[in-house]
Each structure stands twice: as structure tokens, then as C-alpha cells.
Amino acid sequence: MPAPRRRDGAGAVRDRADACPGAWRRHAAADGALARFRPVGGAVAAAELRLLAGAAGNAPLELTSRGSWQVRGLSDQGADDLAVALSGVGGEAPLLDAQGRDVPCSVVASPRTPAADAPARVIADALRGRTDVPGRLLVAVDDGSGDVLGLDADVTVVLGGTLHLAGTPTDVTGDPAALALAAVEAFLAVRGDAWRVAEVGADRVLEGLRPGERFGSSERPEPLTRPEALEVLPRLGEVGAKAAGVLADLADEGAVLRATPWRTVVLRDAPADAVARLDGLVETGRSRWSTLSACVGAPRCARSHTDVRGDLARAVATGRAGGLLPAHWVGCSRACGTPAGPVAVVEGTPSGTYRTVVRAGRVSR
């Protein structure tokens, strides 16, 4: 597949459409249809988790680098049935609302405190069902801790702080949800065929925002307190059926679940025995897997030269992977899912061996 043609430094001309999968638009992978469900600030309810796990069958659910849930190996009918079932769950921040509308782009939020929940809900509900919002767009609500600010999202609002566009701070303040939505609209007005704010330039988006008074007040939240929250790490973002079942049970017992953009699950108000119940199903403490990520590889991706995840598991077991530097294992040079920041990309080659390239930033795919 050809890469997007660059027109000039400030804009891009795409010769392919944004093909990000969603609840209704699936990606046809080698192992069947792949559906992606974008939570509102990472929120997932027990009933939703059970439906996702049930549809995945023996395969694990996948957490993406934006905190979305993916289900692989679906038939078209099975994918439709799953979306319809999720539309019936309801709740404050459903994956799909009662009209079957999902959120077209990722809306992530600081997962450990409730402060960012409400703005994330307002943003997501305003965008639901929109077809003019690129799936690649990333909107973040940071509670002031800086955790999701570090993602350099296209649009980030910091509670009690300012707007950031593509990682660039601005001096624009306002009600966080109103400000984020205004920034999204300003981007849509100038984006042409671009998918990300960085492609058109933060300055052009900022021009569409002034004057800032129309975004309401920017109330500084109460001093940020970060209550104890349990954070667990599914290896490579894979949540098996048993783990999903325990997480759902814990949610029934009062835990608030948040999928994070670093492929973990945060549990607020988790029962005291949560760690014991999750032990062995996900990583609950220090782990060599915490710096590792991987694409799906063979056999699930037809392009892959190697069994990426199997090879990585063997490397971890023998102490050859899992150091301080983040490493991302991939089955070919497309390097799907390479995380932002310094990372060693361990790339499968046609000979079945791997070569390692240390990269300083993101490879956008």
C-alpha cells in the first residue's frame, strides 16, 4: 500500500482513505473481521466486557495503544450481532449508544481519578456518529497529572490549564469540553484530507479558535489527589476470557475500570482481593513485559515474516527481552503500532531472523 503523498510542509494529500476500523466498519484481517471499540476515556462496563469476551471466543481481547478494545476473527454477522448487543447495554459512557453510534476517534482521559471523566463524556457524546472526524484523530483530557498530556494528542485539554495542539502548548483556556470540541471543529475546517493536526499545523487550527472568551470558564479543579488505584498489565495488551471475566466480576463489585493508552487496565475502588483474583491472568506487579509491545505477526497478519508474539514470549522466557528500553516487535517493515518515544524496533525479516533498529520517535501508520 503506498504511503500518503506529501504536498508540502503544511499539508498532505491522501491517496487513500482513513480506514481505521470501528464498531461497524471492520478491518478484513487474515483471521477474519477485526472490530474496534473506542471507550469514552477508557470506560468499560462489566456487561460490555462480557459481550466483547464472548464474541472473541477462545481468542483474547486486545487493548490498543489508545486504550481501545479490539476483537479479531469475527464473521460479518458476528460483528454485527456484537455491535447490536453493545448498543443495548446503556450507561453513562457506553461503547455504543442506544442508536448504535460509536465514537469516531479516540477520546482518552487520565485514568486514575474521576476528574476527567465528565469532560471526556461530553466530548465523546458530541462526536458520536460523526463521519467527518478521522479515526486517526486523538483527543485527550488530562487531569493535571500530565499522564495523557505526554501522548502529544492532536487535541489535549488540561483541567485548569491550557489547550495543547499536537503536543504544542497554547495560551487558550476555557471549559475543557467546549475547548476540545472547538479545537476539533477548527481542525475539521482546515484539514482537507489530513488526518492529524500536525499535518496541517497547530497554528492553522489555533487561528480558527480565537478569541478564547467563547469557551467558558476554566475552573481550576481541586488540588489533584491521586487515590490508590490498582493498575494491571495484560501481556501485549491481550486480555483472555478468564481475565475479562474476573475484571467484569470486580466491576460488578464496585471497581471502576479504565483501559489506558499504555495498554493497561486501571481499577479504581477495587475490592481488597482484586490482585489475588487477577494474579496469573495479567501482570499485577513489576514485569519484564512492561516495556514490551508487538504487532500481531503471523499467522494473524499475512504480511508477517515471523511468529512475532511466540518468538517474543520465548525471548522473555530466556531473559533475552524485557529491558529498560521499550522494545516493539514486528513482523515486517511496516512496523505497525510502534509507540511514541525512544524505542527499539525488533523487525522480522524474510529469513525468519530479526533485526533491531533504535528509533527516537513515532512511525505513523
Q: How far apart are CA 84 and CA 9, in angstroms?
A: 43
Residue 122 or residue 335: which is nearer to ligand SF4 going by CB? 335
Interaction with ligand SF4 in 120-139: which residues (CB under 6 A)? none
User: Minimum distance between the CB of residue 71 and ligand SF4, rounded to whole angstroms?
Assistant: 16
User: Minimum distance between the CB of residue 31 and ligand SF4, rounded to whole angstroms?
Assistant: 12
Interaction with ligand SF4 in 84-123: which residues (CB under 6 A)? none
Residue 75 or residue 349: which is nearer to ligand SF4 going by CB? 349
Determine the size of the site formed for ligand SF4 (CB under 6 A). 12
User: Minimum distance between the CB of residue 251 and ligand SF4, rounded to whole angstroms?
Assistant: 31
CB contact at 8 A, 41 and 117? yes
Q: How far apart are CA 204 and CA 10, in angstroms?
A: 9
User: Minimum distance between the CB of residue 300 and ligand SF4, rounded to whole angstroms?
Assistant: 8
* Cα-only R_g, the chain: 20
Residue 89 or residue 336: which is nearer to ligand SF4 going by CB? 336
User: Minimum distance between the CB of residue 309 and ligand SF4, rounded to whole angstroms?
Assistant: 10
Residue 229 or residue 340: which is nearer to ligand SF4 going by CB? 340
Using rule CB under 6 A, residue 21 touches ligand SF4: no
Interaction with ligand SF4 in 296-355: which residues (CB under 6 A)? 296-297, 301, 303-304, 330-332, 334-336
User: Minimum distance between the CB of residue 297 and ligand SF4, rounded to whole angstroms?
Assistant: 5
Cα–Cα distances in Å, from 331 out to 28, 250, 270, 301, 304? 18, 36, 37, 8, 4
User: Minimum distance between the CB of residue 323 and ligand SF4, rounded to whole angstroms?
Assistant: 21
Interaction with ligand SF4 in 274-303: which residues (CB under 6 A)? 295-297, 301, 303
The residues that touch ligand SF4, with contacts defined as CB under 6 A, are 295-297, 301, 303-304, 330-332, 334-336
